Structure 1
Amino acid sequence: MLVVAAAFAFSPALVSEAFAFKLFGITLWGKDDESASDQVPDPVRYDVTLTTDASDPDLKEALENSSRLVGDKDRPVSGDLGVVVKARDDRERLLAALFEKARYGGIVTIRVDGQNIDDLPPNPTFNRSRPVPVTISVAAGPVFKVREVQFGGDAARRNPADYDLAPGETAGSLTIIKAGDKIVEQLKSEGRPLAKLTTRKVIADHRTSTADIVLAAEGGPVAPIGDVGVTGEKNVRPGFIQRYSRLNKGEQYSPEALRKAGERLRALGVFSSVTIHEADELAPDGTLPMTIEVSEGKRRYLGVGAQYSTTDGFGINGYWGHRNLFGEAEALRIEGSVGRLGETTNIGDLDYSAGITFTKPGAFVPAATLRASVLAKTENPDAYTAKLVTASLGLSYELSDLDTITGAGEVSWERDDDAFGNNSYLTFSLPFQYDRDARDNKFDPTEGYRGMLKATPSYETYNGTFFSSFEGLITGYHALGAEDRIVLAGKLAAGFLVGADDLQNIPATRRFFAGGGGSVRGFSYQEISPRNADNEETGGASYVTASFETRIRVTDTIGIVPFIDVGTVSADIAPDFSDIRAGAGIGVRYATPFGPLRLDFAVPLNKYEGGTDFGIYAGIGQSF
Structure 2
Amino acid sequence: MGLCLAAAGFVLAGPLSVGEAHAFKLFGINFFGKSDEEQAAAEISDPVPYAVTIDAPGADEDLTEALQNASQLYQEREQPASGDLGLVIRARDDRERLLAALYEQARYGGVVDMTIDGQSIDSLPPIPDFPRGQPIPVVVHVTPGPVFSVGKVKLTGDIAGSDPAAYDLAPGRRADSTVILKAGRQAVDDLKQTAHPFAKMTERQAVADHSNDTVDVTLGAESGPKATFGTVGVTGTKRMNPEFVARYSRLDTRKPYSPEELRKAQERLRALGVFSSISVKEGTALDSLGGLPLTIEVSEGKQRYFGVGANYSSADGFGAQAYWGHRNLFGEAESLRIEGEVSRLGIKDVTDFDYSAGITYVEPGAFGPPTSFTASLKAAALDPEGYTAKTVTGLGMASYELNDTDTVSAGVEVAWATIEDAFGNRDYLTPSLPIEFIRDARDDKLNPKSGYRASLAIKPSYEIYGQTPFVSTEGSITGYRGFGTKESTVLAARLAAGIVGGGDDTLDDIPATRRFFLGGGGTVRGYAYQEISPVNAKGDELGGRSYVNVNLEARIGVTETISVVPFIDAATVSAKAVPDFNDIRAGAGIGVRYNTGFGPIRVDVALPLNPYPGGTRYGIYAGIGQTF
Scaled by the length of structure 2, what TM-score is found? Answer: 0.91
Task: Give runs of aligned pairs for residues 520-535 of structure 1, distance below 5 A.
Answer: 520-535=524-539
Is the aligned partner of 1:434 residue 2:432? no
- Identify which range, 402-411 or 596-605, moves more after superposition: 596-605
Query: Which structure 2 residues correspond to residues 105-504 of structure 1 after superposition, within 5 A?
Result: 105-112=109-116, 115-119=119-123, 133-344=137-348, 346=350, 348-481=351-484, 483-500=486-503, 501-504=505-508
Greater radius of gyration (CA): 2
Q: Distance in 2 between matches of 1:327 and 1:540?
A: 46
Matched residue type, 1:92 = E
* Gap change, CA 1:345 and 1:9, over 3 Å in 2: farther
Assess if the C-alpha contact under 8 Å between 1:7 and 1:599 holds in 2. no
Deviations 1:466-503 (A, max 9, x none): 11100100011223346423332211100100114221
Show the counterpart of 2:20.
Answer: none
Per-residue CA deviations over 1:478-533 (Å, capped at 9, x if unaligned) read 23346423332211100100114221222222110111111111111111110111
| Number of the residue aligned with 1:537 | 541
Mark the runs of 5 or more structure 1 residues left unpaired by the alignment.
Answer: 20-25
The corresponding residue for 2:22 is none
Worse overlay, 447-456 or 51-60: 51-60
Amino acid at match of 1:371: T
Instruction: Check conservation: 2:106, 2:147, Cα contact below 8 A.
Output: yes
Give the CA deviation at 1:181.
Answer: 1.7
State the 1:68 CA deviation. Answer: 4.1
Query: Partner of 1:42 in structure 2?
Result: 44
Matches of 2:343 and 2:571, distance apart in 1: 24
| Distance in 2 between residues matched to 1:269 and 1:14, nearest whole Å | 30
Partner of 2:13: 15
- Cα offset for 1:291? 1.1
Separation of aligned partners in 2, 1:77 and 1:509: 70
With over 3 angstroms needed to count, the CA separation of the structure-2 counterparts of 1:89 and 1:561, relative to structure 1, is farther
The more displaced of 233-242 and 551-560 is 551-560
The verdict on how the C-alpha distance between 1:140 and 1:243 changes in structure 2, with shifts beyond 3 A counting, is same
Partner SS state of residue 276, structure 2: strand
Shift in Å, 1:242? 0.7
- Deviation of the 1:241 alpha carbon: 1.0
In structure 2, relative to structure 1, the CA distance for the partners of 1:118 and 1:464 (3 Å cut) is farther
For residue 504 of structure 1, give the secondary structure of its aligned residue in structure 2. Answer: coil
The 3 A distance-change label for structure 1 pair 525 and 184 is same
Cα pair distance change 1:481/1:297, threshold 3 Å: same
Answer yes or no: is the 8 Å Cα contact 2:12–2:26 preserved in 1. no
Match of 1:23 in 2: none
Aligned residue type for 1:328: E
Alignment of 1:46-125 (within 5 A): 47-74=51-78, 83-112=87-116, 115-119=119-123
Instruction: Give 1:593's aligned amino acid.
Output: G
Which 10-residue stretch deviates more, 587-596 or 313-322? 587-596
- For residues 30 and 356 of structure 1, the distance between their equivalents in structure 2, rounded to whole angstroms, comes to 46
**In structure 2, how many angstroms separate the alpha carbons of the residues matched to 1:418 and 1:355?**
25
Comparing 478-487 with 522-531, greater Cα deviation is found at 478-487
1:595 and 1:83, CA in 2 relative to 1: closer, same or farther beyond 3 A?
A: farther
Please tell me the root mean square deviation across aligned C-alpha atoms, in Å: 2.7
Q: Which has the higher contact order (CA 8 A, sep 6+)?
A: 1
Q: CA deviation at 1:75?
A: 5.1
Q: CA deviation at 1:570?
A: 0.1
Partner SS state of residue 573, structure 1 = coil
Give the total of aligned pairs.
615
Q: Work out the CA distance in 1 between the residues paired with 2:605 and 2:259.
A: 45
TM-score (norm 1): 0.92
CA distance in 2, matches of 1:119, 1:297: 58
> Secondary structure of 2:7's partner?
coil
Distance in 1 (CA, whole Å) between partners of 2:341 and 2:176 is 55
Q: State whether residues 476 and 490 of structure 1, in contact with CA within 8 Å, keep that contact through their aligned partners in structure 2.
A: yes
2 CA distance for matches of 1:407 and 1:65? Answer: 54
Shift of 1:623: 1.9
| Distance across 1 between alignment mates of 2:573 and 2:175 | 58
Task: Note the C-alpha offset of 1:572.
Answer: 0.2
Q: How far has the Cα of 1:87 moved from its partner?
A: 4.1
Change (3 A) 1:224 1:453: same
Determine the C-alpha separation between the residues in 2 that align with 1:577 and 1:249. Answer: 53
Q: Identify the range of structure 1 (90-99 vs 429-438) with the bigger mean alpha-carbon deviation.
A: 90-99
1:619 aligns with 2:617: no
Q: Deviations over 1:192-242 (max 9, x none)?
A: 111111111111122322111111110111111111111222221211111
Cα distance in 2 for residues equivalent to 1:497 and 1:533: 23
- CA deviation digits over 1:430-481, x for unaligned, max 9? 1110000111222222222111000011122222221110010001122334
- What pairs with 1:506-585 in structure 2 (closer than 5 Å)? 506-585=510-589
Q: Give the equivalent residue in structure 2 for 1:22.
A: none
- In the alignment, the residues of structure 2 paired with residue 115 and residue 141 of structure 1 have an alpha-carbon distance, to the nearest angstrom, of 23
Deviation of 1:34 (Å): 6.2
Residue 28 of structure 1: how far off its partner (Å):
5.2
**Paired residue type of 1:295:** S
- Looking at structure 2, the residues matched to 6 and 456 of structure 1 have their Cα atoms a distance apart, in angstroms, of 38
Residue equivalent to 2:608: 604
Q: Which deviates further from its counterpart, 505-514 or 438-447?
A: 438-447
How big is the shift at 1:85?
Answer: 4.8
* Contact 1:7–1:620, Cα closer than 8 Å, also in 2: no
**SS at the partner of 1:11?**
helix
Q: Which is worse superposed, 114-123 or 512-521?
A: 114-123
2:182 and 2:85 mapped to 1: Cα distance? 36
SS in 2 for 1:569: strand
CA distance in 1, matches of 2:34, 2:511: 58
Instruction: Name the CA distance, whole Å, in 1 between partners of 2:185 and 2:175.
Output: 16
C-alpha deviation, 1:305, in angstroms:
1.4
* 3-state secondary structure, aligned to 1:59: helix
**Helix, strand or coil at the partner of 1:63:** helix
**162-171 or 476-485, which moves further after superposition?**
476-485
**Alignment partners' CA distance in 2, 1:325 and 1:300:** 10
CA distance in 1, matches of 2:127, 2:319: 62
Deviation digits for residues 344-399 of structure 1 (CA, Å, limit 9, x no counterpart): 464x4222222211111111201111111122222232222222221211111111
Query: Which residue identity lines up with residue 393 of structure 1 in the other structure?
Result: G
